[in-house]
Structure 1
Amino acid sequence: MPTRLLRYPEIDLAAWDACVNSARQVVPYACAWWLQATAGRWDALVEVEEATGRYLAVWPLPVKWRPWGQEVYQPPFTQQLGLLTCHEHSPTLRQMLTAGKLPRYPRFYTQLNDGNEGESAAFTPALNQGLVVNQRQTYHLPLTKPYEQLLAAYAPDYRRRLRLNQAAPTPLVARKAGTAEPLLQLFQETKGPEAGLKARHYAKLRRLIKALQERQMLETLEVRQLETGELLAGALFVRYRTRLIYFFAAASLEGKKAGAPLVLLDDVIQRHAGTPGLVLDFEGGTIPSIARFFANFGAEPVPYAALSFTQRPWYLKWMR
């Protein structure tokens, strides 16, 4: 079964999503509608079953044009991509790279998915060929256990703060929101400048939110100050197959002091506790302070790799 490097117009989107939705790796970011919202177009390494045209393995490679040629990049709001396989005899990452002849791209950067982690070590011998492997991590919390057991694994300070909140005359409460716009505004006012997001990024995020809402895969939660109605914290959660993803969040300074993010996440954990096979993916953890925040809920680090290389354009190769 051949592996092909396909350009976007050549990709059968129905076959693509059929493969992604049945793949062993659970990666919502690789769905065609997600990539259309965040990247627009993408190349792909695809293993095709000749007799049926079915896709047995896919590796999305979002591309954009630069003066030196096409560049593979990681789109915004897309934590993981990498190889997705829905056939027991599907190729490995190394086989896909070799078959696809990826050095044709002058620059290449992609973040694999945590299901590829067992294979990323195989790239070590290729480091002197210009391929760089960097380790990243997210945090996972299985939600199979009852809430009481999950709560017992929280950091003692988190349990104490939740008890104090419940004992307050007007405790903070997480509630579903009808729109994500107040959350986006809060993010722009707090994290936005540091994150470096531009108007085009927010336009992509709004397209993605719309696509998620249409598929009933998005839950928007917020915590407000009861007396004033001020938004203290909010978050978007994506439910896809066996993953519940803490996708996008923001909190005001007052909200952080009041423990609003803690109340929000505890509400989600409590409502989904006892769900067989469901995993809360905190979608982050590379920054130490954020990693500690996630670990305090009893979540464990889960590694995934990023691959990159830079190839000089032919007209610069004479330089030393």
Structure 2
Amino acid sequence: MSSVKKIHYIKHTQIDSGKWNQCIDGALNCRIYAYDWHLDRTAIEWDALVYGDYEYIMPLPFRSKLGIKYLYQPHFSQQLGIFPPPSKAIFETFITAIKNRFKYVDMQLNAVNIPGENDGDIFFERKNYLLSLTKDFKSIISGYSNNTKRNIAKAQKQDLSIIEGIRFEDYLEFKSKNLPAGVDLSAVAKLKSLIAFGEYKGFGKIYGVYTPGNELCAAVYFCRWKDRVIYFNAASNEEGKNTGAMYYLVNRFIEDNAGKNLLLDFEGSMIPGVVRFYAGFGARPETYFQLKYNRLPLLLRWLKR
């Protein structure tokens, strides 16, 4: 039997949850975004490609418009793709299966899903930023940029206070008032579900920065999964931005966790200012790929511009 025949398209309701999560859990490229409980809260609708008896798996978050099903990247799910790390042949088999089924795709793979040289027209590089916390704090801060050091020093003069473990209701209210452009309140509902689950299971915690008047001005939800701590979601108001509160907060988190066998995953960005913020703490870029193409009939391409 050829490898192509071993790949199955499986509907969400037919996925074996135990085998699925076991595959993700044992994968060298394990990412929290690919567990079924995470996908159920972010994608809502998703099917999967499964190779053999859950030897390799790939979640397929989808939406539909005018009866056309297409793949997309859900909020709060930076990297999906194939798990565990596939060989070149298995990678191509999965991509071929997607091409044969979907006319429009815009999704992000994980950092060990490397496309072949002949696929350059549908794969696009993106950057994640990672900082190892294994060294002592003094060694880590020696890698900070001068701008980052200045902003931390500025914040330290503002009489700010940091609280570890603020209530997620307070965070969500603050987040709702300080949403980035283009993000609607439906995303906050998904975030609420993720944070509630993370705190219930004990792998999520929110750091908050308060002004001298005891007003929340910046906060971050950190999510630890295995040896990776994700800078999962952040919010800041104008006062927080003006005082350098986020620099102050991240520096404190690094200080609290320096010397541990942890990787701080900033989740990356393609926005230059955000990239400078991450890189300013000494975080290093990691390449991962976006799979994107539009093969809809010409009259329908306007739907997904």
Match of 1:73 in 2: 72
Q: Is the 8 A contact 1:108 1:309 kept in 2?
A: yes
Match of 2:31 in 1: 27
Look up the SS of the partner of 1:114 in the other structure.
Answer: coil
> Over residues 135-194 of structure 1, what are the superposed CA-to-partner deviations in whole Å (9 max), with x where a residue is unaligned?
11111101111111001111224334434655x4x73232123322333333333334x1
Structure 2 Cα separation of the partners of residues 314 and 254 of structure 1: 48
Structure 1 Cα separation of the partners of residues 172 and 71 of structure 2: 28
Look up the SS of the partner of 2:246 in the other structure.
Answer: helix
Q: Is the 8 A contact 1:183 1:249 kept in 2?
A: no
Q: Does 1:145 align with 2:142?
A: no
Q: Which of 218, 226, 241 in structure 2 is aligned with 1:233?
A: 218
Match of 1:302 in 2: 286
Whichever residue aligns with residue 11 of structure 1, its letter is: I
Match of 2:227 in 1: 242
Whichever residue aligns with residue 276 of structure 2, its letter is: R
Match of 2:145 in 1: 155
> Over residues 114-153 of structure 1, what are the superposed CA-to-partner deviations in whole Å (9 max), with x where a residue is unaligned?
122xx22x1x4245xxx52111111110111111100111
Deviation at 1:268, TM superposition (A): 1.0
Q: Normalization by structure 2: what TM-score?
A: 0.89
> Over residues 280-302 of structure 1, what are the superposed CA-to-partner deviations in whole Å (9 max), with x where a residue is unaligned?
01112311111111111011111
Q: Does 1:113 align with 2:110?
A: yes
Q: Is the 8 A contact 2:154 2:243 kept in 1?
A: no
Deviation at 1:315, TM superposition (A): 8.7
What is the identity percentage for the equivalent residue pairs of Structure 1 and Structure 2? Answer: 31
Match of 2:169 in 1: 181
Structure 2 Cα separation of the partners of residues 201 and 316 of structure 1: 27
Q: Which of 247, 251, 258 in structure 2 is aligned with 1:273?
A: 258
Look up the SS of the partner of 1:102 in the other structure.
Answer: helix
Deviation at 1:91, TM superposition (A): 5.4
Look up the SS of the partner of 1:84 in the other structure.
Answer: coil
Match of 2:118 in 1: 125
Q: Does 1:222 align with 2:208?
A: yes
Q: Is the 8 A contact 2:154 2:244 kept in 1?
A: no
Structure 1 Cα separation of the partners of residues 99 and 79 of structure 2: 19
Whichever residue aligns with residue 184 of structure 1, its letter is: L
Deviation at 1:103, TM superposition (A): 2.8
Q: 1:188 to 1:165 in 2, by over 3 A?
A: closer
Q: Does 1:92 align with 2:76?
A: no
Q: Normalization by structure 1: what TM-score?
A: 0.85
Look up the SS of the partner of 1:92 in the other structure.
Answer: helix
**Within 5 A, what are the aligned runs for 1:35-54?**
35-49=39-53
Q: Is the 8 A contact 1:59 1:84 kept in 2?
A: yes
Match of 2:196 in 1: 210
**Cα-Cα RMSD:** 2.3
> Over residues 79-124 of structure 1, what are the superposed CA-to-partner deviations in whole Å (9 max), with x where a residue is unaligned?
11011117x87953212223x25332231121011122xx22x1x4
Q: Is the 8 A contact 2:78 2:267 kept in 1?
A: yes
Q: Does 1:285 align with 2:269?
A: yes
Look up the SS of the partner of 1:293 in the other structure.
Answer: helix
Provide the aligned length of Structure 1 versus Structure 2.
297
Match of 1:57 in 2: 56
Q: Is the 8 A contact 2:207 2:249 kept in 1?
A: yes
Structure 2 Cα separation of the partners of residues 34 and 107 of structure 1: 24
Look up the SS of the partner of 1:9 in the other structure.
Answer: helix
Q: 1:314 to 1:261 in 2, by over 3 A?
A: closer
Look up the SS of the partner of 1:188 in the other structure.
Answer: helix
Q: Is the 8 A contact 1:79 1:111 kept in 2?
A: yes
Q: Is the 8 A contact 2:168 2:196 kept in 1?
A: no
Whichever residue aligns with residue 286 of structure 1, its letter is: M
